[in-house]
């Protein structure tokens, strides 16, 4: 393999986004007929690297070589033309078309501009047979279970005769048995001489399936080595090996009674039988990989999604969180993960955003008392250090950190008993991050029960009094303060601690 020209060579790839360095001089080499796994924590740079390969991002530095030839991948269509097939976690299929139609969607065989149905069917059968995928070509994609849709998605990528196929978390929504069918398909592609890049959080799969493993951490290449002989513990060590510096000072506060009690919370297909307790003054971390169900749990507690079962109690009283309004009434507040979508109303001012959830409190018979509203917004903006504190300015003219402070301000105005924070420091600069941690500490000190989701493990470890780890929609561990990064990662990958 050292002699042959690799199917793909990405060398010295660096990529920055405003305020974040996503990748630093990462090199990846994948040979034809090789299954190459990429592992790493959330935010390690796996997705960014693949998006560069797919032409969605352009690298700031570095080169990409396909079969030894240096290329510039202009965009997703160009990537496909150059023989790069992408299979993302989210499926991109047309549910109302048949399997055969979906597989050939990119370039349906046609005669005189009319789709040749016979040829189309033949091509789809051929692709499915080559992959050994047992899916009915005439079935409507929308009627298939997710596991089979996944195979169709792969068949669709395979139909364009790629030399490289990227599978991004293909098994995250599959059961063990369903995953087996997928592994057979991967084996077929490997035998056909395709270079397969396989991204997964399931380390056992990586061990079984991969020839080579590349570990990324904080946007840098840690190591690439043969999968033979590697253990899950080895990989976890490589993924986390980081100094836990005291960048997140933790304020010690007395911890009181249980405020939030979640029992058996279930939402089919997302999470199952989740039990959580959060006490007054306590900061409880909710760790796990992206897709493990953390945000989904939070959304259900806040009434944004309906849970199928389970109970939620606030201060011992059961609450029916039909919608966010009911949650707010019960004393629950939620700082969402996606600030742009769920956090802010962009065209409104800082004042309007801060008062949005408590507008009725500053109104008489539906008529907004403007003085009261301004006082509330000014006070909260100042309390949280929104700078500059110009409450009439449109919120979307502020930086990410200030916008996040506005979202906090909105929720603090509701005087919550329980505050759920979903990635509270994502996309904010270092200074604002420290501010937000100070705010969280003060809130805990004032007796608020805090449930914090964060993909940044050091943050979770430093700030939390206790940590729940989710793995594939279930609580896989409850860890006390002082737990190591290793313990959390073991639980998050579903591996039993070594």
List of residues contacting another protein (CB under 8 A): 302, 304, 323-325, 327-328, 334, 336, 341-349, 351-352, 355-357, 359-360, 363, 366-368, 370, 390, 392-394, 396-397, 410, 414
Give the span between the Cα atoms of 303 and 323, in whole angstroms.
4
245 vs 347, beta carbon nearer another protein? 347
* CB of residue 84 to another protein, shortest distance in Å: 28
390 vs 434, beta carbon nearer another protein? 390
* CB of residue 110 to another protein, shortest distance in Å: 33
195 vs 419, beta carbon nearer another protein? 419
85 vs 343, beta carbon nearer another protein? 343
What is the arrangement of strands in the sheet containing 35-39, beginning at the earlier edge strand? 84-87, 164-168, 195-199, 35-39, 212-217, 220-226
Burial class (CB in 10 A: 0-12, 13-18, 19+), 129: exposed
* CB of residue 369 to another protein, shortest distance in Å: 10
Report whether 451 contacts 260 (CB < 8 A): yes
* CB of residue 391 to another protein, shortest distance in Å: 8
279 vs 294, beta carbon nearer another protein? 294
Give the span between the Cα atoms of 351 and 357, in whole angstroms.
11
Give the span between the Cα atoms of 417 and 421, in whole angstroms.
13
* CB of residue 475 to another protein, shortest distance in Å: 25
422 vs 495, beta carbon nearer another protein? 422
Report whether 470 contacts 476 (CB < 8 A): yes
185 vs 453, beta carbon nearer another protein? 453
**Concatenated DSSP letters of 182-217:** HHHHHHHHHHTT-EEEEE-S-HHHHHHH-SEEEEEE
Pull the structure tokens for residue 408: 């906090």
Report whether 449 contacts 443 (CB < 8 A): no
308 vs 342, beta carbon nearer another protein? 342
Give the span between the Cα atoms of 234 and 231, in whole angstroms.
5
* CB of residue 406 to another protein, shortest distance in Å: 11
DSSP type of residue 343: I
* CB of residue 399 to another protein, shortest distance in Å: 12
204 vs 370, beta carbon nearer another protein? 370
* CB of residue 333 to another protein, shortest distance in Å: 9
Q: Is 30 helix (H, G, I), strand (E, B) or coil?
A: strand
* 229 φψ region: left (φ > 0), alpha (ψ -120 to 50), beta (else): left
Q: At 418, give phi and psi (nearest 5°).
A: -125, 125
Q: Is 303 helix (H, G, I), strand (E, B) or coil?
A: coil
- Give the other-Cβ count within 10 Å of 414's Cβ: 17
Give the span between the Cα atoms of 150 and 343, in whole angstroms.
32
* CB of residue 58 to another protein, shortest distance in Å: 19
- Give the other-Cβ count within 10 Å of 69's Cβ: 10
258 vs 390, beta carbon nearer another protein? 390
Report whether 248 contacts 438 (CB < 8 A): no
**Token pair 């990537």 is at which residue?**
79
Report whether 384 contacts 439 (CB < 8 A): yes
Q: At 191, give phi and psi (nearest 5°).
A: -65, -30
170 vs 331, beta carbon nearer another protein? 331
* CB of residue 293 to another protein, shortest distance in Å: 19
* CB of residue 377 to another protein, shortest distance in Å: 10
């Amino acid at each position: 393999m050292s002699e042959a020209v690799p199917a793909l060579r990405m060398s010295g790839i660096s990529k920055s986004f405003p305020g974040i360095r996503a990748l630093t001089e990462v090199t990846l080499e994948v040979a034809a007929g090789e299954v190459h796994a990429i592992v790493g924590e959330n935010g390690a740079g796996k997705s960014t690297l693949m998006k560069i390969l797919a032409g969605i991002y352009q690298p700031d530095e570095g080169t990409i070589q396909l079969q030894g030839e240096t290329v510039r991948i202009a965009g997703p269509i160009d990537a496909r033309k150059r023989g790069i097939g992408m299979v993302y976690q989210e499926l991109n299929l047309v549910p109302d078309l048949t399997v055969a139609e979906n597989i050939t969607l990119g370039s349906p065989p046609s005669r005189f501009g009319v789709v040749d149905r016979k040829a189309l069917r033949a091509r789809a059968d051929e692709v499915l047979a080559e992959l050994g995928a047992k899916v009915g070509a005439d079935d409507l994609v929308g009627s298939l279970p997710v596991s089979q849709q996944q195979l169709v998605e792969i068949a669709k990528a395979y139909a364009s005769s790629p030399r490289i196929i990227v599978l991004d978390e293909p098994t995250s929504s599959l059961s063990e048995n369903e995953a087996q069918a997928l592994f057979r398909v991967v084996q077929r592609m490997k035998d056909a001489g395709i270079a397969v890049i396989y991204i997964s959080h399931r380390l056992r799969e990586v061990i079984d399936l991969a020839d080579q493993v590349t570990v990324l951490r904080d946007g840098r290449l840690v190591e690439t080595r043969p999968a033979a002989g590697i253990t899950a513990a080895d990989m976890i060590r490589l993924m986390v090996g980081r100094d836990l510096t005291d960048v997140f000072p933790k304020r010690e506060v007395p911890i009181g009674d249980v405020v939030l009690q979640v029992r058996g919370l279930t939402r089919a297909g997302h999470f199952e039988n989740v039990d959580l307790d959060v006490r007054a003054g306590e900061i409880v971390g909710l760790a796990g990989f992206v897709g493990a169900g953390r945000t989904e749990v939070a959304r259900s507690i806040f009434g944004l999604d309906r849970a199928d079962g389970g109970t939620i109690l606030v201060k011992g009283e059961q609450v029916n969180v039909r919608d966010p309004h009911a949650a707010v009434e019960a004393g629950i507040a939620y700082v969402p993960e996606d600030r742009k979508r769920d956090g802010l109303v962009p065209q409104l001012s800082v004042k309007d955003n801060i008062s949005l959830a408590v507008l009725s409190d500053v109104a008489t018979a539906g008529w907004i008392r403007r003085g009261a509203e301004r006082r509330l917004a000014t006070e909260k903006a100042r309390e949280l250090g929104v700078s500059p504190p110009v409450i009439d300015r449109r919120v979307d003219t502020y930086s990410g950190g200030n916008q996040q402070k506005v979202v906090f301000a909105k929720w603090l105005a509701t005087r919550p008993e329980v505050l759920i924070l979903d990635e509270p420091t994502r996309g904010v600069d270092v200074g604002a991050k420290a501010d937000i941690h100070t705010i969280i500490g003060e809130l805990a000190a004032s007796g608020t029960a805090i449930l914090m989701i964060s993909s940044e493990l050091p943050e979770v470890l430093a700030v939390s009094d206790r940590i729940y780890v989710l793995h594939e929609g279930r609580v896989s561990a409850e860890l006390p303060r002082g737990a190591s990064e290793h313990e959390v990662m073991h639980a998050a990958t579903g591996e039993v601690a070594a």
